Structure 1
Amino acid sequence: MQHESSVNISPIKALNPYQNKTIKGRVTNKRKMHQYSTPKSTSQVFSFDMIDDEGTEISITCFGDVAEMHYHRVEARTYYTVSKGCIKEADTKWNKLNSHLEITLDNNSVLKCCEAVVDSQGNNSPFTPINEITYYTNNTLVDVIGIVVVVGEPSLIRRKDGSEVTKRIVKINDVSTFTINVKSWATTWQAVGEDLKNMHATQTTVVLAVRNARVGYFNGKMKLQDHTDTLWATGFDEVGTNLLQISAKDLYMLQYDLTTKRTPQTIIKRVLLSCFVFTLSVTTNMYNSEPRLKATITKVTNINFQAECTLLLAEIARTSIAAAFQTN
């Protein structure tokens, strides 16, 4: 085993397609070997994810003979050095990590098992505080960790195609004091849910960490709040553009624009806790035999504080006069 002091290790974030550097990281996820076919032959592929001590992740893929050579050597939670790989832009269709690069190993690449860092504490990937998840757009992948407060019972959901899947929700909260639902339809999640339920029933504290959780909002709705209560409401097209001051297309493209510091998260964060005047269309729909209000935002405008103050003063005066008559 080569000691790391004799190797010039670069952080993953320093990688680029034009320079060959050696990186070191811990395997966080190893995927199964898959067979695939082309018109001329059949082959195989597998991939794994690594994270370095700065918390930067990258996906590494092996094909054909290289996949056969490394598949049984790569183990989760084990440290490796990687060098002489082909570095390229990440294919976001398959690569869901928050990294714009990925590595493909070939016969000239070097993959070596190495010693773990003594002071490394588990997964170095920073967890997203639950109260900041509202800053992220729909389908963004985040890592979350929290204390289990509720383990829901499994429920059977019928899809549009007639098939059935089992859904389970686990509710967690963290030091931000916010709570979020962690939901999955995966078969393995049902077993995990049972384990969490049993542990939660017998232990004081159960902590759940989830990697690559996909952010989702109920029907894509935005949450509104005034001094009386909160309300989930839906806004489309022009409403969203007026609220965020950016079109849906431009907001989507920001995640690929490396020339600006603006991101979808910063755009959304900018309007959080801001005050607007919302015009709503409210209807009542039946859901699981229960009536539910559905609010749709038809118009959003900035507050005219002068006009609002005039109305408020008039209301105060009217109330004061009415109170005076009642006293007399």
Structure 2
Amino acid sequence: TTSIADSIAPNVVPPQLAVHLPTSRTDTLAPATREGRPAHCMQLTPIKSLNPYQSVWTIEGRVIQKGNLNNYNTEKRTGQVFSFDIIDKSNSDIVVTSFDLAATSYYNQIQLGKTYTIKGGTLRPAKKDYNNSTTPWDIILDLDSSVKLSTNQSVNIPQYLFRFKTIAEINSTPAKSTIDLLAIALSITAPSTIRKSDSTFSHKRTVVLSDNSALCIEATLWGAFSDNEGKLLSELCATQTSIRPVLAIKRAKTTTFKGTTLATGPNTQIFIDPDIPEAHALRAWFTSLASTTAYPSVSIGKIEKTDIAGIKSSSQL
């Protein structure tokens, strides 16, 4: 999910929301440990209790985010890096990173949504620029570490973990913070092509988001997010006359150019119309808005306003 610079995550951990969803019990399971003992026979360490003074620990958690196998290039060496996030039944999460041959091995092994036991990694201080995990540590795995598919694909371990901030809260958040947002997608632009500093090209779209803090904010969807989620959002908004999609964005980055804005990054996840209580409540709020509603946008210095009523009655953007 990251380059070397990406194994890093934010300073303030807001209140968390853990979402429990059913898990299939028809999976093909493997032994949970190198010795073949099932996880329930092991002494498991809660993720929140991990610290570098422990010589031996074993954690069990569900993979809630799987990154890409990325290349890195430094003055000393080149190689590959792979990261994934896991959460345990105590609703604590941590970023797990591996490099080079270990990165290739674990990238091929790890499956999103599955539960694993992990032991034999090294703990290092988490760099809080690229993830907002609950723990102050990251785990670094090597080829001697043990990562085994757990025999306990437990429904007691959350499927997702969000720590939503409102747009009002995001407006007072420092630049380059990593945040989660649940909002209504009011409008989205057509894709455009941008030439980047490395002379490569990337697509982008800008989506206007609103929540019940009575504000709007702009979020830029880059690359694959523009091509995939952005395209789907555009289609949904064009075909639904009075309903707009609900967007759950995990690990967006804040900027302060032209007010407060958001942008996707290598660790971002986007969920469209997630089946969680908070999303249903937000949609009900949006549906109940009066016809005269207009909200200021934090992305343009609170000068202009977005006419919610006009958007609700429009069949396209």
TM-score bracket, shorter-length normalisation = 0.5 to 0.7
**What secondary structure is seen at the aligned counterpart in 2 of 1:218?**
coil
Structure 1 or 2: more helix by fraction: 1
What letter is aligned with 1:8? Q
On the 8 A contact 2:89/2:158 being kept in 1, the answer is no
- Within the candidate set 3, 9, 17, 2:52 is matched to 17
Q: Distance in 2 between matches of 1:117 and 1:201?
A: 40
Shift of the 38–189 alpha-carbon distance from structure 1 to 2, 3 Å rule, reads closer
Asked if 1:102 corresponds to 2:159, the answer is no
- Within the candidate set 202, 206, 211, 2:245 is matched to 206
On the 8 A contact 1:12/1:58 being kept in 2, the answer is yes
Shift of the 161–219 alpha-carbon distance from structure 1 to 2, 3 Å rule, reads farther
Shift of the 18–178 alpha-carbon distance from structure 1 to 2, 3 Å rule, reads same
Shift of 1:120: 4.8
What letter is aligned with 1:206? P
- For structure 1, which segment, 178-187 or 17-26, has the greater mean C-alpha deviation from structure 2 after superposition? 178-187
Shift of the 119–161 alpha-carbon distance from structure 1 to 2, 3 Å rule, reads closer
**What secondary structure is seen at the aligned counterpart in 1 of 2:161?**
coil
Q: Kindly provide the CA deviation profile for residues 58-100 of structure 1, in whole angstroms up to 9, marking residues without a partner as x.
A: 221223443343221101222212112111113457x544443
Structure 2 unaligned blocks of 5 or more: 1-30, 33-37, 261-299, 304-317
Q: Distance in 2 between matches of 1:157 and 1:107?
A: 40
Shift of 1:16: 0.7
On the 8 A contact 2:221/2:230 being kept in 1, the answer is no
Q: Distance in 2 between matches of 1:41 and 1:179?
A: 44
On the 8 A contact 2:91/2:161 being kept in 1, the answer is yes
Asked if 1:85 corresponds to 2:121, the answer is yes
Larger Rg: 1
Shift of 1:161: 8.9
On the 8 A contact 1:51/1:125 being kept in 2, the answer is no
**Aligned residues with identical type, % of pairs:** 31
Shift of the 43–140 alpha-carbon distance from structure 1 to 2, 3 Å rule, reads closer
Greater RCO, 1 or 2 (C-alpha within 8 Å, sep 6+): 2
What letter is aligned with 1:123? Y
Shift of 1:175: 4.1
Which of structure 1's runs of 4+ aligned residues deviate more than 6 A? 37-42, 158-164
Shift of 1:6: 2.1
Name the residue aligned to 1:154. 191
Superposed CA RMSD in Å reads 3.5
Shift of 1:214: 0.5
Shift of 1:184: 2.5
Structure 1 unaligned blocks of 5 or more: 222-291, 296-328
What letter is aligned with 2:177? T
On the 8 A contact 1:156/1:164 being kept in 2, the answer is yes
- Within the candidate set 170, 183, 186, 2:207 is matched to 170
